[in-house]
Amino acid sequence: MRVAIVNDMPMAVEGLRRALLASGDNQVAWTAWNGAEAVKHCAEDVPDLILMDLIMPEMGGVEATEIIMQSTPCPILIVTASVGMNSGLVFEAMGKGAIDAISTPLFGGSEFSGTDESGANETLSRKVSMIEVLTQPIKSSRGLLKQAPLSGTTRGPKLVVIGSSSGGPEALAKVLKGLPEDFQAAVVIVQHVDAQFSEGLAHWLDQQTPLKVRLAKEGEKPRKGEVLLAGTDDHLVMNADGTLGYQAEPKNMPYRPSVDVFWHSLCDYQTANLTAVLLTGMGKDGAQGMLELKERGVHTIAQDEKSCAVFGMPKAAIDIDAAVEVLAIEEISGVLRKKYKSMLLSRSGEI
């Protein structure tokens, strides 16, 4: 891959350059010392991937990501040494279309050492390889997943499941902000984000909504009015007893955690209780799982192109007719409020 490096710290640039050249057939397309330079370079030469720092003079990574994704879009991976202090900026950049984020070997202010550099090389190599897969035509995940049951006997609360990737944090915040504190369904989210950022993302989303947001724990059941976020690089799944769990298989899925794997595990869930929502993101994750759910009678919603930061995952679902509705991000929470309020009133005999 032709990879660009945007960072104002020479030591970080050199470390990232070494890491890239040491793994696979990567080459450095160009380097930039701030976001303004990156925007200019990208307009002249769009790379396969940009490694984007957050805090830089003149123009930071969030603004540069937004401009690049609007004018000359390409995959952007946030690589920063300031994760702990600037997690909000990480999620803001991902909301503008960055695909994921990792920490540099300078994380915590330490200089490059053999151990730190080795660990950073491994993480960077894994992320670059994943992004390279995502930018290629992706085959259906149907063959990677075991046949789902058809009985629909798994019982549980009214449930909204949401899948998202690039642009997801901002889109998730907009949906969750529109849900009331007494929302009559549980919400479970699979967002493509490195495990080291998942807890920070849950905390950040918790500040955006009246609902309680936290990481999903092994063996627990979703509860109405609560939002659970997949919290590891393993796949979140729904077990036959209605509890959530994590599993490594299938290991050959390019997305970890995978929306398709989670939604496939829901195919035994009571369909009348379920709504599936697919938001902005690169690739096709969630499209096949959404089709399986729709074919079993689940109400499915895809975000429309105009309101997406990256119209990849929703487009893939729309292209195979997996979406019952295609809605702007601003409309989705209203549909969910109406549906679950109506279900509650119907159950109490008021309508």
Per-residue pLDDT tens digits for 202-212: 999 999 999 99
- On whether both 50 and 80 belong to a single domain, the answer is yes
Q: What is the pLDDT of residues 299-351, one digit of tens each?
A: 999 999 999 999 999 999 999 999 999 999 999 999 999 999 855 555 544 33
Q: Which domain holds residue 41?
A: 2-134
Catalytic residue numbers, as ranges: 165, 192, 285
Q: Domain check: are 255 and 336 in the same one?
A: yes
Of the listed ranges 28-32, 89-93, 103-107, 246-250, the least confidently predicted one is 103-107
Residue 194: the pLDDT is 84
Q: Report how far residue 86's alpha carbon sits from residue 195's, in angstroms, rounded to the nearest whole number.
A: 16
> Across the chain, how many H-helices and E-strands are there?
11, 14
Q: What pLDDT, on a 0 to 100 scale, did the predictor assign at position 119?
A: 58
Q: Which of 17-21, 154-158, 252-256 has the highest mean pLDDT?
A: 17-21
Query: Which of 85, 104, 134 is the last residue before a domain boundary?
Result: 134
Is residue 86 located within the same domain as residue 173? no
| Total tally of structural domains belonging to the chain | 2
Joined together, the tokens standing for residue 37 give 């330079």
Name the E strands within the chain: 2-6, 27-32, 49-52, 76-80, 100-103, 159-164, 186-191, 212-215, 226-229, 235-238, 244-247, 274-278, 299-303, 325-327
Domain containing residue 150: CATH number: 3.40.50.180
pLDDT at 268 > cutoff 60 = yes
Is the per-residue pLDDT at 138 higher than 60? Answer: no
72: helix, coil or strand?
Answer: coil
Last residue of a domain, one of 134, 169, 192: 134
| Cut 0.85: pTM above it | yes
